[in-house]
Structure 1
């Protein structure tokens, strides 16, 4: 029985090589809108039900459809206001179902990374060959519809296999070289980017993506009120900002337009964005930009430090 994930080694926070962000920023800040597509009657998966209700699950489907019909435009206008380019965690089927949303994001030069094909189809139970094909389909579809080489991955509905990270890096870099397949959002284990071990030896990293600040976890799981979500976001930022004076940190706000964009919640999100972007030494970036900067400037030094500590 395995006791740890093979993807990374224990690497304590204290004493790591310093991270320098562009312009001397303390915090690299990014927003990851999850723009998802849910099927009302998806193929059954024996490992997980797509909906808690019997078919048809109208309440669950309806609120998610609200996110694409109404909430996305509301969130996009807010990110425009504060000069934030979203890094879209994309259910790739949305390219076919709602191409107008893709067009709006492309017009703003937002990043697109893969969140699987549908958020009602999971990695659980797939063979390695089937998962490879799903990942390839997502990467190729993003390129076909947006012109972007897909750099990042968040598994559909956070479903994984032992091979997910290996496959994403292998397929992405096979198709597009080091422009694709370079980072994951799936590990949730750190406040700084970290090198990830792959069977292929390809250069690959984890970019922090916070489940604690994820609006679905906050509102639907932890039942937090919007005003307290604002307090959480500010406190989360304040701690990372203070620690970032010594070595750069990363703050991500993962969002869903059927959650944070509801009329009674959007104001709290807006006040958090105003607070965070009001600091001059914050780098407002995309996931790809954070990953690229780290790979080019810090990855090798970090990898050497991890290896030295393991030997010591």
Structure 2
């Protein structure tokens, strides 16, 4: 029986090589809006139902449609206000169904990374070849639409397989958001040996987890974001940390929730020594300036695996 996923070695937080972000920033801050497309009647998957109630799943579908009709524009104006470029976790089908949303993001030089094609079509049960083709197609659609190949990947509805990271790295990807094991970027072991990393993407700060799973009230969610920042900002004085707020335009952008989110953004961006950036920029900087030192330190801390 496997004891771990095998993507990375145990590497204690203390005594790591110091990360220095651009300009001496303590913390790299990025916001990851999930802009998704859900089908009303998706193909069935024996491993997971897309909707919790029988077809037609109008309530679930329509609140997500609200996000693309109303919530996205509301969130975009807020990110504009605080000088934040979103790093979009994009359902590639949005390029076909709502290209106007993609165009608005492109005008602002937002990043796009792949979140599969539809958020109602899962990796579960796919062969490796089928998953490779799905990832490849999602990347190609985004590149054709935006002119830029996605550097990052988040599996649709977090439905990754044992091969997902290997396949994305083989297709030219540089970072994954599907691992939640650290507050700093870390090297990830993939079968092709590519330079590939995990970028912190917090489930705890994810608005869907906060509101739907943990049943947090808006004021409580806003305070959670500030508390998370305070801890990572303090620790960043010793070595650079990363804070990500993953959002969904049908969650955080509801009228009664937006103020709490805005107050958190105002608080975070009001601090000095914060690098307000995108996922791709964090990944590129880490790969160029930190990856080799980190990989050597991990190998030294795990001599048994290195010997193997």
For Structure 1 versus Structure 2, the TM-score category normalised by the shorter chain is over 0.9
Shift of 1:199: 0.5
Equivalent residue in structure 2 for 1:229, among 188, 208, 221: 221
Report the 3-state secondary structure (helix = DSSP H, G, I; strand = E; otherwise coil) of the residue aligned with 1:264: helix
Equivalent residue in structure 2 for 1:291, among 279, 283, 296: 283
Task: Give the aligned partner of residue 211 of structure 1.
Answer: 203
Instruction: Establish whether residue 304 from structure 1 lines up as the match of residue 275 from structure 2.
Output: no
The ranges of structure 1 where at least 4 consecutive aligned residues each deviate by more than 3 angstroms after the TM superposition are none
Q: Which runs of 5+ in 2 are unaligned?
A: none
- Normalized against structure 1, the TM-score is what? 0.97
For residues 89-142 of structure 1, give each alpha carbon's deviation from its aligned partner in whole angstroms, at most 9, with x where no partner exists.
000000000000000000000000000000000000000000000010011111
Please report the RMSD computed on the Cα atoms of aligned residues, expressed in angstroms. Answer: 0.6
Shift of 1:160: 1.1
For residues 212-243 of structure 1, give each alpha carbon's deviation from its aligned partner in whole angstroms, at most 9, with x where no partner exists.
00000000111000000111000000000000
Report the 3-state secondary structure (helix = DSSP H, G, I; strand = E; otherwise coil) of the residue aligned with 1:283: strand
CA distance in 2, matches of 1:127, 1:158: 17
Shift of 1:298: 0.3
Task: Give the aligned partner of residue 176 of structure 1.
Answer: none
Report the 3-state secondary structure (helix = DSSP H, G, I; strand = E; otherwise coil) of the residue aligned with 1:88: strand
Task: Give the aligned partner of residue 177 of structure 1.
Answer: none
CA distance in 2, matches of 1:230, 1:98: 30
CA distance in 2, matches of 1:32, 1:300: 26
Instruction: Establish whether residue 249 from structure 1 lines up as the match of residue 241 from structure 2.
Output: yes
CA distance in 2, matches of 1:200, 1:6: 14
Report the 3-state secondary structure (helix = DSSP H, G, I; strand = E; otherwise coil) of the residue aligned with 2:88: strand
CA distance in 1, matches of 2:123, 2:279: 23
Q: Which runs of 5+ in 1 are unaligned?
A: 174-180
Task: Give the aligned partner of residue 119 of structure 2.
Answer: 119
For residues 51-107 of structure 1, give each alpha carbon's deviation from its aligned partner in whole angstroms, at most 9, with x where no partner exists.
001001111001000000000000000000000000000000000000000000000
- Listed as ranges, the matches of 1:63-82 within 5 Å are 63-82=63-82
Equivalent residue in structure 2 for 1:200, among 192, 196, 202: 192
Instruction: Establish whether residue 184 from structure 1 lines up as the match of residue 176 from structure 2.
Output: yes
CA distance in 2, matches of 1:69, 1:149: 26
Shift of 1:149: 1.3
How many residues get paired?
A: 304
- Normalized against structure 2, the TM-score is what? 0.98
Shift of 1:6: 1.2
For residues 133-164 of structure 1, give each alpha carbon's deviation from its aligned partner in whole angstroms, at most 9, with x where no partner exists.
00100111111000011100000000011100
CA distance in 2, matches of 1:15, 1:191: 14
Task: Give the aligned partner of residue 102 of structure 2.
Answer: 102
For residues 160-179 of structure 1, give each alpha carbon's deviation from its aligned partner in whole angstroms, at most 9, with x where no partner exists.
111000000101x2xxxxxx
CA distance in 1, matches of 2:179, 2:153: 11
CA distance in 1, matches of 2:282, 2:45: 35
Equivalent residue in structure 1 for 2:250, among 253, 258, 277: 258
Shift of 1:280: 1.6
Task: Give the aligned partner of residue 134 of structure 2.
Answer: 134
